[in-house]
């Protein structure tokens, strides 16, 4: 009888262990979607599609990019938060969505972000300071001197209140003590047109979006906002050489719903890191001013914490908000 009882216990334990094994989530078990909080055709979309193509080959499933732009990423964030937490819906935000929107607005960004968890970084990129060729300066040092000597005469364009172009201008203002103007536009095209015409003096931007007007000599690139390995920006002077403490990058990262099981997040991270270490992908991405950045979820959290503190100070000092 005792022997029979031991066999029953052993069988029960074995079945329980098998149940645990069968209960472990598998990823991927179906096509994967990357929800991008920007319209098709822009840098985020192009980057996501490059990643998606490589990721699909790596995991053996289709990877679809879904564009869900507008409202600083809130609709996109909402869609991902409401998705099944099984690793098959990813969110690829930029700095502006994951850090700036929650700092600037009360439209649910912080609440929604708390219901998401990072998987890993995707890219990081330095921005550049460009000026109109109508402005009589050729270096950051000369621009600082000119701005201080001509209060209110230097204007910085941006694609809208609260973006990195606007906050870069506020950082310039805070570190120089110069009286400069911020001129927000509804989108980058109008801002670039007025920069070329000389209606506005300067602008912080990613370099690829301005490369055409730079090549034609309509605007001058003065410096990069951070050190870079990208061939597009690595040889540029640094803003921090003239203004110590002036440094920022833009970046993209990958998130999933917070309830996603840890083994699934680990599987996504492993696949993503492998893709981001592909030299062929690097050769396509780096000339656009970006660097691929394989990393852990903890490193994403470190980026978010650092940038939240940095930009939070700028936002509070300049009293910036959006609704």
The reported pLDDT for the residue numbered 73 is 84
Residue 19 lies in a domain: no
Looking at the fold, whether 55 and 188 belong to one and the same domain comes out as no
For the chain, how many structural domains are there in total?
2
| 3-state SS assignment for residue 310 | helix
Looking at the fold, whether 88 and 228 belong to one and the same domain comes out as no
Looking at the fold, whether 188 and 201 belong to one and the same domain comes out as yes
Residue 300 lies in a domain: yes
Q: Which of 2-6, 129-133, 148-152, 218-222 has the lowest mean pLDDT?
A: 2-6
Looking at the fold, whether 276 and 311 belong to one and the same domain comes out as yes
Looking at the fold, whether 149 and 297 belong to one and the same domain comes out as no
Last residue of a domain, one of 180, 208, 242: 242
Looking at per-residue pLDDT, the higher value among 125 and 43 belongs to: 125
Looking at the fold, whether 226 and 274 belong to one and the same domain comes out as no
What would the pLDDT profile of 126-182 be if each residue is shown by its tens digit?
Answer: 999 999 999 999 999 999 999 999 999 999 999 999 999 999 999 999 999 999 999
| Distance of alpha carbon 22 from alpha carbon 75, whole angstroms | 35
pLDDT at 2 over 50: no
Residue 10 lies in a domain: no
For the chain, percent of residues with pLDDT exceeding 90? 77
The reported pLDDT for the residue numbered 21 is 44
**Residue 146: exposure state from Cβ atoms within 10 A (0-12, 13-18, ≥19):** middle
Helix axes 262-276, 43-59, angle to 10 degrees: 110
Looking at per-residue pLDDT, the higher value among 107 and 121 belongs to: 121
Residue 203 lies in a domain: yes
Last residue of a domain, one of 242, 259, 275: 242
Residue 255 lies in a domain: yes
The reported pLDDT for the residue numbered 250 is 94
Residue numbers of the domain that contains 92: 32-124+249-318
For the chain, percent of residues with pLDDT exceeding 70? 92
| Distance of alpha carbon 120 from alpha carbon 55, whole angstroms | 14
Looking at the fold, whether 190 and 100 belong to one and the same domain comes out as no
Using the structure block, give the residue that is written with the tokens 């074995």. 14
Using the structure block, give the residue that is written with the tokens 């099981």. 261
- 159, 188 contact by CB (below 8 A): yes
The reported pLDDT for the residue numbered 263 is 97
The reported pLDDT for the residue numbered 25 is 66
The reported pLDDT for the residue numbered 107 is 74
Residue 8 lies in a domain: no
The reported pLDDT for the residue numbered 23 is 52
Q: Residue 300's domain is classified under what CATH number?
A: 3.40.190.150
- 57, 278 contact by CB (below 8 A): no
CA 30-36-40 angle, 5° bins: 110
Q: Over the range 270-294, which residues count as b (16 or more CB within 10 Å of their CB) and which as e? A: ebbbebbeeeebbebbbebbbbbbe
Looking at the fold, whether 54 and 99 belong to one and the same domain comes out as yes
β-strand pairing of 155-158 with 202-205: parallel
Looking at the fold, whether 230 and 133 belong to one and the same domain comes out as yes
How much is the average pLDDT of 296-312? 96
Looking at the fold, whether 181 and 281 belong to one and the same domain comes out as no
Looking at the fold, whether 213 and 176 belong to one and the same domain comes out as yes
Two structure tokens written together for 14: 């074995």
Q: Residue 193's domain is classified under what CATH number?
A: 3.40.190.10
What would the pLDDT profile of 52-102 be if each residue is shown by its tens digit?
Answer: 999 999 999 999 999 998 877 889 999 999 999 999 999 999 999 999 999
Residue 4 lies in a domain: no
Residue 113 lies in a domain: yes
pLDDT at 26 over 90: no
The reported pLDDT for the residue numbered 24 is 56
């Amino acid at each position: 009888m005792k022997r029979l009882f031991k066999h029953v216990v052993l069988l029960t334990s074995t079945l329980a262990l098998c149940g645990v094994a069968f209960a472990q989530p598998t990823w991927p078990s179906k096509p994967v979607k990357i929800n991008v909080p920007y319209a098709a055709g822009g840098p985020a979309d192009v980057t996501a599609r490059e990643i998606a193509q490589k990721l699909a080959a790596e995991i053996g499933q289709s990877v679809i990019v879904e564009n869900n732009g507008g409202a600083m990423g809130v609709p996109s964030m909402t869609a991902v938060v409401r998705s099944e937490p099984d690793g098959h819906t990813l969110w690829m935000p930029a700095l502006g969505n994951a850090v700036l929107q929650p700092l600037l607005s009360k439209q649910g960004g912080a609440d929604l972000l708390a219901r998401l968890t990072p998987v890993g970084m995707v890219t990081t990129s330095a921005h550049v300071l460009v000026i109109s060729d109508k402005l009589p300066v050729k270096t950051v040092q000369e621009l600082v001197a000119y701005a201080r000597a001509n209060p209110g005469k230097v204007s910085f364009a941006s694609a809208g209140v609260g973006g990195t172009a606007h906050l870069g201008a506020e950082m310039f203002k805070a570190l120089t003590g110069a009286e400069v103007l911020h001129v927000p536009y509804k989108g980058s095209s109008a801002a670039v047109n007025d920069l070329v015409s000389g209606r506005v003096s300067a602008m912080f931007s990613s370099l690829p979006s301005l490369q055409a007007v730079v090549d034609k000599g309509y605007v001058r690139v003065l410096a990069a906002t951070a050190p870079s390995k990208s061939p597009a920006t690595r040889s540029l002077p640094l803003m921090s050489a003239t203004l110590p403490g002036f440094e920022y990058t833009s970046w993209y990262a990958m998130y999933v719903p917070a309830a996603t099981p840890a083994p699934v997040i680990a599987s996504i991270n492993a696949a993503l890191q492998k893709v981001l270490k592909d030299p062929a992908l690097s050769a396509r991405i780096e000339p656009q001013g970006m660097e691929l950045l394989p990393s852990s979820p903890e490193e994403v959290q470190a980026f978010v914490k650092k940038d939240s503190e940095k930009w939070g100070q700028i936002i509070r000092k300049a009293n910036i908000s959006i609704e």
